[in-house]
Amino acid sequence: VVGFEALVRWPDERRPAVAPDQFIGLAEETGHIAALGSWVMENAVNDIVGLQRLPGPARPPYVSVNVSARQFRDAGFIEQVGAALSTPGLEPGSLQLELTETVLLQRDDRLQTVLTTLKELGVHIAVDDFGTGFSSLRYLQDFPIDVLKIDKSFIDNIARDAQQVALVEGIVRIADTLGLQVIAEGIEDTAQRDLLVGMGCRFGQGYLFARPMTVEQSA
């Protein structure tokens, strides 16, 4: 998953880091989010092309890039995505965009048009941090969504809270019924992983598997 977090760390780790939410909010307010988002997407796609060229079965199938609400609504967003997809050597279906529920709840004709165009371009659509906003099951049917990413807040206490287990099981069942892939965010221990596997959640991310790393470290 590639987002803006990589942009907000000082080279010197002794200096304080800028919180991603603060950085993204400022970028949106100043109008720089489109240029930054385009830069992130371009570099992410170039990185996945390099990794896909490596020999062996461990080549990553796609790269997932976070998109802010302001960036998504920028008039040049589709052109940015098209430019990224034209990167030489990029395998079809290699780009996934992660949108928040906030984007999907702002229902209008342009939203449907942009999502449909992205799907026609072969882009996969994921709902990031699912469950943290005013979740509406309706948009799961109305829009061409491929993936639900269950927010970390639902995973943190899953090994100790029966209600959390029931909530996550419900999300997994709904996603399965709609033909959506589910990814659990923020998995940090084996107890969480085992519970999720037992309820049918086959994919996850979190410190249990790996910490943030550079593309060179992941190769």
Domains and CATH numbers, the chain: 31-218 (3.20.20.450)
From 92, 102, 93, 65, select the one nearest 80 (Cα to Cα): 65
| Cα–Cα distance for residue pair 217/15, rounded to 1 Å | 23
DSSP 8-state symbol, 2: B
7 band by pLDDT with thresholds 50, 70 and 90:
very low
The pTM for the full model equals 0.87
Write the single-letter amino acid at 155: I
| Cα–Cα distance for residue pair 219/217, rounded to 1 Å | 6
Tell me what the mean pLDDT of segment 150-164 comes to: 94
**Percent of the chain surpassing pLDDT 90:** 58
Q: pLDDT, tens digit, for every residue of 75-110? A: 999 999 999 999 999 999 999 999 988 888 777 788
**How confident is the prediction for the chain on average, in pLDDT?**
87
Question: Residue 18, by phi and psi: left (phi above 0), alpha (psi -120 to 50) or beta?
Answer: beta
Q: pLDDT, tens digit, for every residue of 23-72? A: 888 888 888 888 899 999 999 999 999 998 888 776 778 999 999 888 99
Q: How far is CA 49 from CA 14, 40, 122, 211, 218, in A?
A: 33, 14, 16, 22, 13
| Cα–Cα distance for residue pair 102/45, rounded to 1 Å | 25
